[in-house]
């Protein structure tokens, strides 16, 4: 696969992470350094080290989140404790955060955890933010997360896309029978992005990339398949969520897996609604799928995460 790496302004640094922790984007300015997204909670010590190195002795003035999934906000509490800085979140996320709604935040519901934090500022779609001495326009990007924002810098054509647009796809979306809004919103968001004069995308996962049109075309193809068959979306979501859990745990005991799947809301609810399998059958299918996609292998009665670069 050929990659052309975008040339980015000196005030902007992308710290590329993996699929457990979302990338961090550091926007430096004499007016204050801003960090966008903070990784998964279990990675917080490494996040602190990476951010400290990127700051090169300077301090952090603000944490910003594109959306509130656990792999984007997990370092908020630790970073705020370290730098004493405000945390700014999208307006559409404030209710779920204020109530610490474990389902809406996809925490307990998908077997994930986070460190609770208090946001201190609210970001609004349609407003401009001067991070890194650039002019970022916040745009609503609902779908994968209904409260998500993306940030667009028109003069350079840069898009900070969170999980709304990756080089190969987008963050998993709730099937219509679980939440009727999400898939429709995903289409609207992709159509909105297709109208922007984007030159380079700084995604929540994976390396920054150019050729946004090709990425959007892949997203529309995937979206159409999901629109035609929501069980495809359900299967995709469960694969993604279990892959994430395995990346966090590194290994899971195979004989415990059916119990685990029965305990965690998203697997139980999706299985009842879309498949109607036994927990064992769901476990067998998921193990096969994860092995097939190369993210896991079986070893001595355990399912073991295979390190890749995503």
Q: Which residues bind Zn ion (CB under 5 A)?
A: 69, 163, 171
Coil vs helix vs strand at 275: helix
Which residue's structure tokens are 């359900």? 234
In degrees, to the nearest 5, what angle opens at C-alpha 104 toward C-alphas 269 and 91? 155
Instruction: Give CA–CA dist 172/138, Å, rounded.
Output: 22
CB 231, min distance to Zn ion, A? 22
Residue whose CB is less far from Zn ion, 80 or 112: 112
Contacts of 143 (CB under 8 A, 6+ apart): 164, 170, 173, 182, 183, 185, 186, 187, 188, 189, 190
Which residue's CB atom is positioned nearest to Zn ion? Answer: 69
Residue whose CB is less far from Zn ion, 92 or 171: 171
Instruction: Give CA–CA dist 281/224, Å, rounded.
Output: 28
CB 290, min distance to Zn ion, A? 19
Instruction: Give CA–CA dist 276/4, Å, rounded.
Output: 45
CB 108, min distance to Zn ion, A? 16
Residue whose CB is less far from Zn ion, 62 or 69: 69
Instruction: Give CA–CA dist 153/158, Å, rounded.
Output: 5
Residue whose CB is less far from Zn ion, 70 or 271: 70
Residue whose CB is less far from Zn ion, 28 or 205: 205
CB 237, min distance to Zn ion, A? 12
CB 22, min distance to Zn ion, A? 7
């Amino acid at each position: 696969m050929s990659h052309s790496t975008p040339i980015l302004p000196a005030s902007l640094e992308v710290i590329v992470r993996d699929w457990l922790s979302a990338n961090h984007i550091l926007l430096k300015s004499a007016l204050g350094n801003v960090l966008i997204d903070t990784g998964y909670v279990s990675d917080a010590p490494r996040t602190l080290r990476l951010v400290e190195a990127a700051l090169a002795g300077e301090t952090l003035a603000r944490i910003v989140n594109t959306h509130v999934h656990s792999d984007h906000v997990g370092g908020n509490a630790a970073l705020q404790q370290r730098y004493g800085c405000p945390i700014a979140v999208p307006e559409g996320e404030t209710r779920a955060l204020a109530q610490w709604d474990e389902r809406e935040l996809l925490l307990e519901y998908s077997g994930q955890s986070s460190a609770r934090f208090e946001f201190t500022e609210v970001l609004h779609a349609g407003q401009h933010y001067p991070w890194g001495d650039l002019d970022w326009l916040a745009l609503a990007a609902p779908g994968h997360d209904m409260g998500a924002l993306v940030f667009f810098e028109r003069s350079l054509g840069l898009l900070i896309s969170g999980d709304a647009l990756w080089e190969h796809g987008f963050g998993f979306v709730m099937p219509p029978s679980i939440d009727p809004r999400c898939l429709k919103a995903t289409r609207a968001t992709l159509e909105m992005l297709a109208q922007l004069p984007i030159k380079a995308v700084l995604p929540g996962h994976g390396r920054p990339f150019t050729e946004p049109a090709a990425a959007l075309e892949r997203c529309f193809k995937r979206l159409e398949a999901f629109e035609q068959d929501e069980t495809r979306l359900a299967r995709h979501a469960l694969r993604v969520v279990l892959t994430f859990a395995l990346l966090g745990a590194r290994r899971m005991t195979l004989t415990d897996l059916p119990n685990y799947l029965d305990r965690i809301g998203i697997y139980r609810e999706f299985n009842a609604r879309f498949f109607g399998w036994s927990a064992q059958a769901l476990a067998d299918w998921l193990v096969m799928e994860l092995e097939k996609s190369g993210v896991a292998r079986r070893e001595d009665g355990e399912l073991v995460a295979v390190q890749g670069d995503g």
